[in-house]
A and B are shown apart, each in its own frame.
Chain A
Amino acid sequence: MFRPLTRSLPRRLLSARRYIFVSTPEIPTERHGHLPSSHSLITPTLSFFNSVTGGGTQIPTYRVLDGAGNIIEGAEVPELDRDLARRIYENMVLLPTMDNLLYNLQRQGKISFYVSAYGEEATIIGTAAGLAPDDENAAQYRELGVILYRGWGLKATMNQCFGNYEDAATKGKQMPIHWGSPEYHFHTISSPLATQIPQAAGVAYALQRDPERRGRNCAAVYFGDGAASEGDFHAGMLFASTLPSPTLFIARNNGFAISTPASEQYYGDGIAARGPGYGMDTIRVDGNDVLAVLAATREARRRCIESGRGVLLEAMTYRVGHHSTSDDSFAYRPRQEVEDRKRIDNPVARFRLFLHARGWWSDEEELALKERLKEEVLTEFRKAEQLKRHELKELFTDVYAGELPYNLKEQRKELGRLLRKYGDAWEPWREELKKYKDGGKSVMDIEDK
């Protein structure tokens, strides 16, 4: 089970793999034999290699649609009917609608934080559509589209952003955009970057051990090009390639980690070049071409499940929006560059042109969709905004399962005492307590016993 894959491969396949691995033009002959317990041939030539392709070129980028929505020569459109195409498109359009509103809400101080996904709609929705709805999902934070595509809903999204008492995802304990739902197989997001990557390998191992899901599901893990510099990326790739863990690694290479351009993040050929180093099937895809992303995800998923091992997909895209609401990206990149990218390489427009050409979409439908989505988003926002926070006692729940430890009981009691004493007299607390469903009573009522 743990034997390196290469040992069982026929020689023909091995040489094909070698073509991928070695950039030197001279492939050594068998003349000098090979190393013991290895297929590494002995060569008298002193030569080095770098990256994974020869001749100074980079790993190619798989594309189906060109910038005008036409199918490029030699490409095949993945299996796609009208309904699926429209579902993908509607979800792609939903993202900027949601982003526009929530971004502005943050600017007005109604929510504390937000992260938009401008420019990455095709990567996010394309991969979501390529996965099974019950594939386990471990995301970074820019993948709202994936859980929305699965049907999580605008209502739940708004509730989480406001952290109101209907927010089941975090009970108002995490910052906005840290969604999660077991029902939609979307593991709750956390801020520390890349920690989800080795976790995804563990999730995949669990899937492999579950007779109900073995051979049926994979674990998809999303991360940015910056997060891939963390040690946890290395650990996750290593574990998923070494242990039987069908993990689909989806790198969103959008060119920036906050202000740090990719050129300061790595010197090699992106993230994709690292896959072969782990013995992992790897593909680079045009992340602004939803059909390429869809086709690549489906095939990556198939390989993942079939081999029971990790597969790497690097989606090349561009972060059109600021990193987050706490960032002004024009401090480190020209406004014109962003405007150009929006105009020349817009993933939503590209797919819309394709739909138009097929007769699957019209300008009227476009208008209607935008109106409908805007209305829905606004309605859910207004409802979520009205709701108060969870009861204050939730502050202490879920630290541990089971009985509250002594110190937490004491501290809850202490907070209750302080609230009884100062809750009304100290204005900042009085105002804050009004935001809770219970006005803080659930803690204040805990008397010393």
Chain B
Amino acid sequence: MTAHVRPSILASRSMRQDWTVLTRKHGSERSLRTVGHSRPPGTSRPASDHNATATTMLRVATSPHSARLLTSRAHRCRFRYSTEALEQPPPAGGHLPSVANSSILRTSRDSALRAPGLKFADDEPNSLAGRETRRMNLYQAVRDAMSIALAKDDTAVVFGEDVAFGGVFRCTMGLAEEFGRERVFNTPLSEQGIAGFGIGLAAMGQTAIAEIQFADYIYPAFDQLVNEAAKFRYRSGGQFNAGGLTVRTPTMSVGHGGLYHSQSPEGYFMGAAGLKIVIPRSPIQAKGLLLASIRDPNPIIFMEPKILYRSSVEHVPTSDYTLPLSILEPVLPQTNSDITVLSWGTPVYTCETAAHMLAGPPEGLEGIVPKSVRGAKVEVLDLRTVLPWDIEGVLERVGKSGRLVVVHEAGVTGGVGAEIAATVQRELFLKLKAPVRRVGSWDTPSGLNFEKFILPDAVRVLDAIIETLTF
């Protein structure tokens, strides 16, 4: 039941593909290096543009009156960008914001330290003076979180298939050397064994950080996670618990993962009361949410969008901090928004792209996107915790906008979107101005050659936004 295609191949291949990797030199200067065919390595361009977008978004959030003007200015900037880009081979994500240049990512020390909800573990939670940040991609942030967890908690151990040499996605690089093989070790190739073993450690009050190599291979552990870990506390009347267990697993599509290196199985766990499911969208999020997950007194499945391991880069505070679970974060906040777009993990960026496409349709789509909706204020939310999800947060936001589009990579039928849509229609029946729209993969397996047309592409999100706005 386990990967016949060993993922080290995949990991390196995904690196060589057209994912853009950002490297930052110092201060505000920023270079964009595209690994692969899409852009010659080392090609750099100023990043003032990106910062402008970020600033714009911030202002949009705080100043409703100037929002429209600023948004259009942001788009002018982007178009200048794209004209410039036309002289080069086209960038990977087209001319729109993608993971490589997303305004969602916090690429300065100051913005990193001011990430909402961020809580430092030491005694001076509010003091930002002297705090350091370091540029990290998502796998480095995950590694950093585990390093802190291991350093601060002697009972913590990290284990799974191939974690000792650093992991097939590099998330455990150097941890075995730093903390010893007793604390960071390989297990036999058995997912049910990994989950069961972790539950046993947790039942003894220790901290178990297990890795399932791909979320696609979590099913052999389904029984241990759903029947055992989730119900451990309840069934023993609170006498025993598996709260010390955190299962990390790479999830979501990677462009060429086919059926078994692409899945988003979070929906299968929606009925597993007692478990928590957490999915970060970026390095800052990954570190803060993972540390919070490791320390939460409940068993948690922490799903890391594998396509973001290298492609998402942020400044990440180097010290110990957490981000709250079961609280969503508006990543593109709006006051008086016209529509709410809710997602988690990788598609958060797709939603951001779609929002930009709506305001300033790229070439070819100009005739298709009605002018009447281009000025709509699109609010993008990152759910972050899928179980138990932030119902209050969603209801509050959708209660204001009256329109909701839920976007996830998993298939639509039985997906998390179904749960959210049902709750929203029940609670907000009179406030809804349009049906809740779900955008996900089709209800097919993730056929290798068909991924572009299976996964929720930005244009599909755009279409759903338009349809919902014009309903």
Chain A positions near chain B (C-beta within 8 angstroms): 1-2, 136, 138, 167-171, 173-174, 178, 180-182, 187-188, 190, 192, 195, 197-207, 209-210, 219, 231-232, 234-236, 238-239, 242-244, 397-402, 405-408
Q: Can you give 21 A-B contacts (C-beta < 8 A)?
A: A1-B181, A1-B182, A170-B236, A171-B238, A190-B231, A195-B223, A200-B200, A202-B203, A205-B157, A209-B155, A234-B193, A235-B188, A239-B197, A243-B187, A243-B197, A398-B233, A400-B273, A400-B276, A401-B243, A402-B297, A406-B391
**Which 8 A-B residue pairs are closest in the complex by CB-CB distance?**
A202-B200, A198-B196, A235-B193, A405-B388, A171-B237, A206-B204, A188-B236, A401-B297
Given contacts A2-B185, A239-B188, A239-B190, contact A168 B197 (CB under 8 A): no
Chain B positions near chain A (C-beta within 8 angstroms): 155, 157, 181-182, 185-188, 190, 192-193, 195-206, 208, 220, 223-224, 227-228, 231-241, 243, 273-274, 276, 296-298, 326, 388, 390-392
Min C-beta distance of B398 to chain A, whole Å: 15
Min C-beta distance of A196 to chain B, whole Å: 8
B227 touching A235 by the CB < 8 A rule? no
User: Which residues does chain A contribute within 8 Å of B204, judged by CB atoms?
Assistant: 136, 202-203, 206-207, 210
Min C-beta distance of B148 to chain A, whole Å: 19
Cα distance A210–B193 in the bound complex, in angstroms: 21
B206 touching A188 by the CB < 8 A rule? no
A202 touching B196 by the CB < 8 A rule? yes
Chain A residue nearest to B419 (CB atoms) is: A407
Cα distance A399–B388 in the bound complex, in angstroms: 11
A400 touching B182 by the CB < 8 A rule? no
A398 touching B199 by the CB < 8 A rule? no
Cα distance A167–B201 in the bound complex, in angstroms: 26
Q: A231-B192, A401-B296 are in contact. List 20 more A-B contacts (CB 8 A).
A: A138-B200, A170-B235, A170-B236, A171-B238, A178-B235, A182-B239, A188-B239, A192-B227, A198-B199, A199-B200, A199-B224, A232-B193, A235-B192, A235-B197, A236-B193, A398-B234, A399-B233, A399-B273, A400-B298, A401-B233
Cα distance A205–B202 in the bound complex, in angstroms: 11
Given contacts A398-B237, A407-B391, contact A243 B203 (CB under 8 A): no
Min C-beta distance of A230 to chain B, whole Å: 9
User: Which residues does chain A contribute within 8 Å of B203, judged by CB atoms?
Assistant: 187, 199, 202-203, 206
User: Which residues does chain B contribute within 8 Å of A201, judged by CB atoms?
Assistant: 193, 196-197, 200
User: Which residues does chain A contribute within 8 Å of B185, judged by CB atoms?
Assistant: 2, 243
Cross-chain contact of B240 among A173, A188, A202, A236 (Cβ < 8 A):
A188
User: Which residues does chain A contribute within 8 Å of B233, judged by CB atoms?
Assistant: 398-401
User: Which residues does chain A contribute within 8 Å of B273, judged by CB atoms?
Assistant: 399-400, 408
User: Which residues does chain A contribute within 8 Å of B237, judged by CB atoms?
Assistant: 167-171, 173, 398
Min C-beta distance of A183 to chain B, whole Å: 9
User: Which residues does chain B contribute within 8 Å of A192, judged by CB atoms?
Assistant: 223, 227-228
A206 touching B274 by the CB < 8 A rule? no
Chain B residue nearest to A397 (CB atoms) is: B238
User: Which residues does chain B contribute within 8 Å of A195, judged by CB atoms?
Assistant: 196, 223-224, 227-228
B190 touching A238 by the CB < 8 A rule? yes
Chain A residue nearest to B241 (CB atoms) is: A401
Given contacts A187-B203, A399-B274, contact A199 B196 (CB under 8 A): yes
User: Which residues does chain A contribute within 8 Å of B202, judged by CB atoms?
Assistant: 202
Chain A residue nearest to B210 (CB atoms) is: A202
User: Which residues does chain B contribute within 8 Å of A187, judged by CB atoms?
Assistant: 203, 240
B234 touching A198 by the CB < 8 A rule? no
Cα distance A173–B243 in the bound complex, in angstroms: 19
B182 touching A209 by the CB < 8 A rule? yes
User: Which residues does chain B contribute within 8 Å of A219, judged by CB atoms?
Assistant: 200
B326 touching A405 by the CB < 8 A rule? yes
Min C-beta distance of B127 to chain A, whole Å: 27
User: Which residues does chain A contribute within 8 Å of B243, judged by CB atoms?
Assistant: 401
Cα distance A426–B231 in the bound complex, in angstroms: 31
Cα distance A400–B200 in the bound complex, in angstroms: 18
User: Which residues does chain B contribute within 8 Å of A190, judged by CB atoms?
Assistant: 227-228, 231, 235
Chain B residue nearest to A195 (CB atoms) is: B228
B223 touching A188 by the CB < 8 A rule? no
Chain B residue nearest to A138 (CB atoms) is: B200
User: Which residues does chain B contribute within 8 Å of A234, judged by CB atoms?
Assistant: 190, 193
B238 touching A398 by the CB < 8 A rule? yes
Q: Which of B198, B234, B296 has the most CB of A within 10 A?
A: B234
Given contacts A202-B196, A202-B208, A231-B220, contact A400 B388 (CB under 8 A): yes
Cross-chain contact of A180 among B190, B236, B297 (Cβ < 8 A):
B236
User: Which residues does chain A contribute within 8 Å of B392, judged by CB atoms?
Assistant: 406
User: Which residues does chain A contribute within 8 Å of B195, judged by CB atoms?
Assistant: 198
User: Which residues does chain B contribute within 8 Å of A182, judged by CB atoms?
Assistant: 239-240
Cross-chain contact of B197 among A171, A199, A244, A402 (Cβ < 8 A):
A199
Cα distance A136–B201 in the bound complex, in angstroms: 12
User: Which residues does chain A contribute within 8 Å of B190, judged by CB atoms?
Assistant: 198, 231, 234-235, 238-239
Chain A residue nearest to B242 (CB atoms) is: A199
Given contacts A187-B203, A192-B228, A399-B274, contact A198 B192 (CB under 8 A): yes
Cα distance A209–B200 in the bound complex, in angstroms: 13
Min C-beta distance of B345 to chain A, whole Å: 21
Cα distance A236–B274 in the bound complex, in angstroms: 24
B240 touching A206 by the CB < 8 A rule? no
Cα distance A307–B200 in the bound complex, in angstroms: 20
B188 touching A242 by the CB < 8 A rule? yes
Chain A residue nearest to B199 (CB atoms) is: A199
Given contacts A231-B220, A401-B243, contact A173 B234 (CB under 8 A): yes
User: Which residues does chain B contribute within 8 Å of A205, judged by CB atoms?
Assistant: 157, 197, 200-201
Cα distance A164–B197 in the bound complex, in angstroms: 32
Cα distance A234–B388 in the bound complex, in angstroms: 33
Cα distance A205–B48 in the bound complex, in angstroms: 53
User: Which residues does chain B contribute within 8 Å of A174, judged by CB atoms?
Assistant: 235
Chain B residue nearest to A207 (CB atoms) is: B204
A239 touching B227 by the CB < 8 A rule? no
Min C-beta distance of B270 to chain A, whole Å: 11
User: Which residues does chain B contribute within 8 Å of A168, judged by CB atoms?
Assistant: 237, 239
Chain B residue nearest to A401 (CB atoms) is: B297
Cα distance A255–B424 in the bound complex, in angstroms: 54
User: Which residues does chain A contribute within 8 Å of B193, judged by CB atoms?
Assistant: 198, 201, 232, 234-236, 238-239
Min C-beta distance of B436 to chain A, whole Å: 17
Chain A residue nearest to B237 (CB atoms) is: A171
Chain A residue nearest to B395 (CB atoms) is: A406
User: Which residues does chain A contribute within 8 Å of B391, judged by CB atoms?
Assistant: 406-407
Min C-beta distance of B310 to chain A, whole Å: 30
Cross-chain contact of B298 among A1, A203, A401 (Cβ < 8 A):
A401
User: Which residues does chain B contribute within 8 Å of A235, judged by CB atoms?
Assistant: 188, 190, 192-193, 196-197
Cα distance A166–B172 in the bound complex, in angstroms: 46
Min C-beta distance of B418 to chain A, whole Å: 14
User: Which residues does chain A contribute within 8 Å of B236, judged by CB atoms?
Assistant: 169-170, 180, 188, 398
Chain B residue nearest to A231 (CB atoms) is: B192
Min C-beta distance of A139 to chain B, whole Å: 13
B206 touching A209 by the CB < 8 A rule? yes
Cα distance A169–B235 in the bound complex, in angstroms: 8
Chain A residue nearest to B155 (CB atoms) is: A209
Min C-beta distance of B273 to chain A, whole Å: 5
User: Which residues does chain B contribute within 8 Å of A171, judged by CB atoms?
Assistant: 237-238
User: Which residues does chain B contribute within 8 Å of A138, judged by CB atoms?
Assistant: 200
Min C-beta distance of B380 to chain A, whole Å: 22
User: Which residues does chain B contribute within 8 Å of A232, judged by CB atoms?
Assistant: 192-193, 196, 223-224
